A and B are shown apart, each in its own frame.
Chain A
């Protein structure tokens, strides 16, 4: 069974500081991994995805994530936080080639950015 664990329900950084949001996954087959961002009262926007190509994935808004199979991790990073990055971030996993089309979400990490 697949699962996703996001370490830290709330992360606070200063503007200009490094953003690191942690995600570990469990999957019995090679996974597809995603990071979504959700701004208040809005839907989910895809930030980036890993689909078994390059292990370092670049996404929108300056975010990137690295797939590390040995650590079963897919942490999200951004070198310099901006006030507009304040939002809820969800890591999600889906089994590659799965026929259920099912995304399994982590519990989310709320990112706060201090001026």
Chain B
């Protein structure tokens, strides 16, 4: 199984809502990533988890809260988002931090109203 899955595929939320994005992989990878991609732009790294511990936080606002409950699962909790947070959120995984090849999920298209 070389797949990274993400749910939901689409999400519309108001600025006062709390929602979560989910990412799952069963490749035994120990590094997992969240990226944000705005329209017509490349992906931008948000967070990196290594062995279930937060390794990198690219100065992301606290309204985004990542969580890695186990080695296969990565969540992104969303609260009090702004319309400018609307984007495609991509999850990726790699064997470990030293492995350069990352496997990407299909993304969650988030719209904040």
Q: Which residues of A contact B (CB under 8 A)?
A: 32, 34, 36, 41-46, 49, 51, 90, 94, 96-103, 105-108, 110
Contact = CB atoms under 8 A, between A and B. Distances in A.
Interface stretch (B11-19, B61-69, B71-79, B102-110): B102-110
B42 A108 contact: yes
Nearest to B56: A100
Nearest to A106: B42
Given A51-B100, A99-B98, A105-B43, A43 B107 contact: yes
Contacts of A101: 31, 33, 48, 50, 55, 94, 96-100, 102
A1 B23 CA distance: 30
Contacts, number: 66
A96 B100 contact: yes
A36 B101 CA distance: 11
Interface of B: 4, 6, 31, 33, 40-43, 45, 48, 50, 55-56, 88, 90, 92, 94, 96-107, 109
B56 A32 contact: no
Contacts of A49: 100-101
A76 to B, nearest CB: 15
Nearest to A101: B97
Contacts of B92: 44
B104 A45 contact: yes
Given A46-B101, A100-B48, A108-B41, 13 more contacts: A34-B100, A44-B104, A49-B100, A51-B100, A94-B100, A98-B100, A101-B31, A101-B48, A101-B50, A101-B99, A101-B102, A102-B48, A110-B40
Contact of A42 (B42, B103, B107): B107
